[in-house]
């Protein structure tokens, strides 16, 4: 008897987030569409033609700095205040740098090919530094065995791999 | 000759109530209420191929001080000479602005100004910057300032800082650090020196990239100079006499021609 009668849940309750977690995507979409329909019918809107977005290619600016490219206001001459003189060079070169950046590319001190060559050898040597002890021993063995005795120690050569437990 | 005829035509068009081409009025006196027409945006005229400045994807046009955007183009709000800068560099897309003269400063965001401390109200200093209201400066807005480590600012000190907030609805706020937290020259201006006021136009002239006045003065004596966009200049040299000489030159050079200035400086360096 208790199993047959199911309390009827209201629509609002069903629309709540925790009730929708169990639903599949299709029912969710259906519910969403129904909601939108309800909203759009009641929703008031203006019956006007769409206004064109204003051209956004003019920026209004109330300051003179970007217009006239003014220099930095603190200045010092003939070494009166060395810190300010350093600052002057820094600030005013920032403005000029922006102009120069566009034009020239940085000349590389080292050519690309040399860089690639160095990198090849470098990766190997520095990589060895970070090997664990076991792997280092393996490497050493490899180097030693290169002379001749490959057959004597095959078992130690093999790295100990993880053995998956069989069911 | 043709150029001047075109300009006279532009003025007549303006007087008749229609707008005039912005390019035609560059270097001319414009009055508030004048409408400056800009060449149409390339996207609208898709058929016509425009060669020259309009062809490249246009950067934003900078509408500087004294100008406002309006439906037809730019509306002039101050009287003065119309200036124009070509596209490229910091003003991508070109810039138009009105070069006007005034003595009274209106705070603008981003401007570096010299302020005089008038009051200490708890955690905030009140500065007089020459505007309609006093600007506020928090004690934490200095480089390396913490709650325990407060800057040593007294009433009457001079401070070089920039505006963080400056509009007609709110009290202006200043800071003495830039966006990365470094002071980059801002903060308390040191002891001694002389502070005086000039018109805003002269400050802009002095801060122009290649200013002859500054270059000529720098040959005279070693000295230090701080220029605030609010019309205030602070000068410090080794002796009081040298300081006063520099002050007098800076004040007078607004109305001197280049010749007169060179003569005056020649006399001084002779002394």
- Give me the count of residues in chain B: 271
- CA-nearest of B261, B167, B33 to A62 is B167
Which of A63, A69, A79 faces B111 most closely, judged by CB atoms? A63
Name the band, by pLDDT with cuts 50, 70 and 90, for residue A35.
Answer: confident
DSSP class of residue A54 equals P
Question: Who has greater pLDDT, A63 or B72?
Answer: A63
Nearest CA to CA, how far is A71 from chain B (Å)? 5
Sign of the CA dihedral with A53 first, then A58, A62, and A63 last: positive
Q: Tell me, what's the pLDDT at B54?
A: 42
Task: Mark yes or no for CB contact B204/A80 under 8 Å.
Answer: no
Mutate to test the interface with A, among B207, B215, B227, B237 (most CBs of A within 10 A): B207
Contacts of B188 (CB under 8 A, 6+ apart): B151, B152, B153, B157, B158, B159
- Percent of chain B past pLDDT 70, that is, above it, reads 83
Name the band, by pLDDT with cuts 50, 70 and 90, for residue B166.
Answer: very high
Inter-helix orientation angle B240-252/B258-270, to 10°: 170
Which of B58, B91, B204 faces A57 most closely, judged by CB atoms? B58
**Local structure of A80: helix, strand or coil:** coil
Instruction: Mean pLDDT check: name the lowest of A9-18, A46-55, A76-85, B65-74.
Output: A46-55
**Which positions 72-131 of B are in contact with A (Cβ < 8 Å)?**
74, 83, 85, 89-91, 93, 95, 97, 108-112
| Distances B113 to A117, B119, B140, B192, B252 between C-alpha atoms, Å | 55, 18, 18, 18, 22
Q: Mean of the pLDDT values across residues B46-59?
A: 45
Instruction: Mean pLDDT check: name the lowest of B17-21, B54-58, B257-261.
Output: B54-58
Considering only alpha carbons, which residue of chain B is nearest residue A85? B224
Considering only alpha carbons, which residue of chain A is nearest residue B73? A58
Instruction: Mean pLDDT check: name the lowest of A141-145, B64-68, B185-189.
Output: A141-145
Residue B48 has pLDDT above 50, yes or no: no
Task: Mark yes or no for CB contact B227/A75 under 8 Å.
Answer: yes
Mean pLDDT of chain A: 75
Cα–Cα distance for residue pair B142/B190, rounded to 1 Å: 15
- Percent of chain B past pLDDT 90, that is, above it, reads 46
Question: Who has greater pLDDT, A39 or A67?
Answer: A67
Mean pLDDT of chain B: 84
Question: Who has greater pLDDT, B135 or A45?
Answer: B135
* pTM for the model: 0.66
**Local structure of A164: helix, strand or coil:** coil
Are the CB atoms for B94 and B58 separated by under 8 Å?
Answer: no
Cα–Cα distance for residue pair B175/B143, rounded to 1 Å: 10
- Dump the DSSP string for B35-78: EEE-PPPTTT--SS---STTTSPP-PEEE-TTEEE-SSEEEE-S
């Amino acid at each position: 008897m208790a199993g047959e009668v199911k309390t009827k849940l209201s629509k609002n309750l069903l629309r709540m987030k925790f009730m929708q977690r169990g639903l599949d995507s299709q029912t969710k979409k259906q519910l969403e569409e129904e909601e939108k329909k309800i909203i759009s019918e009641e929703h008031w809107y203006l019956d006007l033609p769409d206004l064109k977005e204003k051209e956004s290619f003019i920026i209004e600016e109330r300051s003179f700095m970007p217009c006239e490219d003014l220099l930095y206001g603190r200045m010092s001459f003939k070494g009166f205040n060395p810190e300010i003189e350093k600052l002057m060079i820094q600030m005013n070169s920032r403005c000029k740098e922006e102009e120069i950046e566009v034009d020239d590319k940085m000349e590389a001190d080292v050519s690309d090919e040399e860089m690639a060559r160095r990198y090849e050898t470098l990766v190997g040597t520095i990589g060895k530094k970070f090997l664990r002890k076991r792997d280092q021993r393996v490497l050493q063995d490899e180097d030693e065995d290169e002379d001749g005795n490959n057959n004597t120690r095959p078992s130690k050569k093999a790295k100990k791999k993880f053995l998956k437990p069989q069911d | 000759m043709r150029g001047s005829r075109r300009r006279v035509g532009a003025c007549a068009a303006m007087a008749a109530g229609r707008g005039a081409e912005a390019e035609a009025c560059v270097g001319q006196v414009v009055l508030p209420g004048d409408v400056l027409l800009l060449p149409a945006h390339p996207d609208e005229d898709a058929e016509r191929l425009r060669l020259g400045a309009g062809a490249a994807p246009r950067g934003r046009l900078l509408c500087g001080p004294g100008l406002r955007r309006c439906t037809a183009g730019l509306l002039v709000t101050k009287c003065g000479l119309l200036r124009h800068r070509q596209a490229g560099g910091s003003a991508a897309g070109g810039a138009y602005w009105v070069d006007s003269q005034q003595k009274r400063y209106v705070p603008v965001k981003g401007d570096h100004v010299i302020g005089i401390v008038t009051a200490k109200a708890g955690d905030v200093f009140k500065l007089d910057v020459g505007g309609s209201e006093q600007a506020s400066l928090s004690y934490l807005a200095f480089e390396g300032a913490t709650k325990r480590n407060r800057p040593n600012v007294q009433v009457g000190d001079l401070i070089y800082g920039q505006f963080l907030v400056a509009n007609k609805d709110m009290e202006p706020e200043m800071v003495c650090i830039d966006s990365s937290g470094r002071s980059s020259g801002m903060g308390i201006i040191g002891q001694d020196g002389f502070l005086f006021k000039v018109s805003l136009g002269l400050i802009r002239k002095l801060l122009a990239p290649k200013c002859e006045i500054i270059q000529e003065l720098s040959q005279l004596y070693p000295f230090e100079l701080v220029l605030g966009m609010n019309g205030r200049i602070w000068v410090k040299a080794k002796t009081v006499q040298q300081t006063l000489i520099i002050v007098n030159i800076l004040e007078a050079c607004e109305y001197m021609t280049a010749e007169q200035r060179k003569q005056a400086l020649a006399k001084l360096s002779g002394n």
